[in-house]
């Protein structure tokens, strides 16, 4: 009897310890889907731009932070242990430690692959390096490949293809011509063996290039059917999600987004290019991408999960059955947790997202206390916190002049029209904004190209009505008080 009591009380103590460990994750919000209810918890905090998340078959969540550290996080407690600090990482703006992939069969092949920028003399380079995990640390750095780097447009994501090859998505390193140049490894999807050699079944058995014509890939995902998807930053317009085919050309810098302009169509016919399966104007700055194949959250099954920076959201892109097109898009957390950098899924169907509020371009009001964070989204029955809902993408498009201004102009001239001193002129009180309609319309349609380092982009892709709404909003806001501009005036100025 005594023994039984002892066992019983021990069991209770153990149970409550376990509960306590789980309780220690802070619960933030709930999400109501059509049928399921989800909870959002803080798995980790006080991070410095967790650029890449990877769930590995050791049961841990791996995280690469931009400054050069790699850590492993225990999923039930959130306990984080640093396993690597790469001293030679060179971080500025969007360079630093970026992509990371853990071998899919980690127990037998304890390899971790990372991509980071470093300096070789005065040159900036982007390195793909393989490490081996033992005794709780990463050792034995093997440089697999080194390509051109820059302070921006480094791409960086790494993933495993269905048949165990390494895919590395690179950026054009801010030299647009790289993307179409077969001799350059920038602006490409590269395909390697895990020892760094070139697979014999690459399009050219002497080249790493698998697909070309990219500007700056920020997300790379492989579906359970083995389909490969990327997310990519457009210039002022046309962010993209692409489905990657062997030896295909995606058109940058001659094509942005859909092949809809006359010169794009000509290039597309001459070069047999592939169109994105989704494109966004106004831009959202898409980032991490993952495939959700599990049944745990049925509403998200067979979707791409995409985090966005500028639009500060998680997007659920529902795929059709063959995975070759996107049926619908739903937006979660818009402007709520801030910029979101990466997303991944564990083998229990829980989703992890990382914030990026300590990067070079934080939004007003951010970082929040204890940023950056990794949040876990998982199924629950109980609802105790605020309930968030998704919004269909078509209902989130900007409608009035103020919303159009914010998505197209606000990133530079700021929501209050005050601009940034010495960089982006104030539109409040500006003589050009309040001057003759025709010269203002010309600025909007053609841009201003005088100062090569700070240019005002051309907005000739806007519809007449949208352009008129933006200009009217500017001429009536922030103390400005000039006459409205209508769609016909825009049309006459084209």
Residues that bind ligand HEC (CB under 6 A): 408-409, 411-413, 424-425, 427, 430, 432-433, 440, 443-444, 448, 450-451, 454-457, 459, 470
- Pick the closer one to ligand HEC by CB: 16 or 455: 455
Taking the complex as a whole, how short is the minimal distance between the CB of residue 448 and ligand HEC, in angstroms?
Answer: 4
Tokens of 127: 């390195």
- Pick the closer one to ligand HEC by CB: 230 or 477: 477
Q: How far apart are CA 391 and CA 59, in angstroms?
A: 33
Signed CA dihedral, 137, 142, 219, 235: sign only: positive
Taking the complex as a whole, how short is the minimal distance between the CB of residue 289 and ligand HEC, in angstroms?
Answer: 25
- Pick the closer one to ligand HEC by CB: 152 or 412: 412
Tokens of 110: 């304890």
Taking the complex as a whole, how short is the minimal distance between the CB of residue 457 and ligand HEC, in angstroms?
Answer: 6
- Pick the closer one to ligand HEC by CB: 289 or 470: 470
Cβ-proximal residues to 8 (8 Å cutoff; 6+ apart), any chain: none
- Pick the closer one to ligand HEC by CB: 59 or 435: 435
Cβ-proximal residues to 371 (8 Å cutoff; 6+ apart), any chain: 45, 46, 47, 338, 355, 357, 358
- Pick the closer one to ligand HEC by CB: 298 or 410: 410
Question: How many other β-carbons are positioned within 10 Å of the β-carbon of residue 369?
Answer: 7
Q: How far apart are CA 62 and CA 112, in angstroms?
A: 10
Taking the complex as a whole, how short is the minimal distance between the CB of residue 47 and ligand HEC, in angstroms?
Answer: 29
Taking the complex as a whole, how short is the minimal distance between the CB of residue 466 and ligand HEC, in angstroms?
Answer: 9
- Burial class of 123 by CB neighbour count within 10 A (0 to 12, 13 to 18, 19+): exposed
Phi, psi of 255 (to 5 degrees): -130, 135
Q: Cα torsion at 113, 246, 282, 447 (round to 10°)?
A: 100
Taking the complex as a whole, how short is the minimal distance between the CB of residue 352 and ligand HEC, in angstroms?
Answer: 32
Strand arrangement, sheet containing 217-222: 217-222, 228-232, 239-244, 278-280
Tokens of 185: 């490894």
- Pick the closer one to ligand HEC by CB: 243 or 474: 474
Taking the complex as a whole, how short is the minimal distance between the CB of residue 434 and ligand HEC, in angstroms?
Answer: 9
């Amino acid at each position: 009897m005594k023994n039984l009591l002892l066992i019983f009380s021990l069991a209770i103590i153990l149970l409550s310890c376990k509960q306590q460990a789980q309780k220690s994750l802070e619960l933030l919000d709930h999400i109501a889907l059509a049928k399921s209810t989800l909870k959002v918890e803080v798995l980790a905090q006080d991070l410095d731009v967790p650029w890449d998340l990877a769930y590995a078959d050791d049961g841990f969540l791996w995280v690469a932070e931009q400054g050069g550290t790699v850590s492993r996080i225990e999923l039930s407690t959130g306990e984080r242990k640093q396993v690597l600090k790469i001293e030679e990482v060179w971080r500025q703006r969007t360079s630093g430690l970026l992509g990371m992939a853990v071998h899919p069969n980690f127990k037998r092949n304890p390899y971790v692959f990372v991509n980071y920028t470093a300096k070789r003399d005065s040159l900036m380079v982007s390195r793909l390096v393989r490490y081996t995990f033992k005794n709780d640390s990463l050792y034995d750095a093997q440089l697999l490949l080194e390509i051109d780097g820059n302070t921006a447009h480094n791409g960086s994501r790494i993933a495993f293809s269905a048949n165990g090859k390494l895919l590395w998505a690179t950026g054009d390193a801010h030299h647009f011509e790289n993307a179409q140049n077969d001799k350059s490894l920038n602006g490409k999807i590269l395909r390697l063996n895990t020892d760094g050699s070139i697979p014999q079944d690459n399009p050219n058995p002497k080249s790493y290039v698998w697909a070309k014509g990219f500007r700056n890939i920020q997300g790379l995902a492989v579906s359970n059917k083995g389909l490969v998807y990327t997310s990519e930053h457009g210039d002022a317009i046309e962010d993209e999600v692409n489905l990657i085919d062997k030896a295909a050309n995606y058109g940058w810098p001659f094509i942005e987004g859909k092949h809809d302009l006359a010169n794009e169509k000509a290039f597309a016919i001459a070069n047999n290019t592939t169109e994105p399966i989704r494109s966004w104007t106004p831009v959202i700055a898409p980032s991490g991408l993952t495939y959700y194949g599990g049944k745990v959250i049925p509403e998200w099954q067979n979707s791409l999960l995409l985090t966005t920076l500028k639009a500060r959201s998680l997007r659920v892109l529902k795929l059709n059955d063959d995975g070759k097109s996107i049926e619908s898009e739903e937006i979660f957390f818009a402007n709520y947790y801030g910029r979101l950098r990466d997303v991944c899924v564990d083998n229990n169907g829980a989703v992890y997202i990382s914030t990026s509020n300590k990067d070079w371009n934080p939004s007003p009001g951010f970082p929040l206390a204890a940023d950056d964070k990794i949040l876990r989204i998982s199924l629950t029955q109980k609802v105790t916190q605020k309930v968030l809902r998704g919004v269909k993408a078509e209902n989130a498009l900007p409608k009035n002049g103020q919303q159009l201004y914010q998505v197209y102009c606000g990133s530079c001239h700021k929501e209050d029209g005050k601009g940034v001193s010495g960089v982006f002129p104030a539109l409040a009180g500006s003589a050009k904004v309040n001057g003759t309609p025709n010269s203002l319309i010309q600025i909007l349609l053609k841009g201003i190209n005088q100062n090569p380092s700070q240019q005002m982009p051309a907005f000739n892709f806007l519809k007449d009505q949208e352009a008129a709404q933006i200009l009217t909003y500017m001429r009536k806001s922030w103390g400005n008080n000039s006459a409205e501009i209508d769609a016909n005036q825009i049309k006459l100025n084209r």
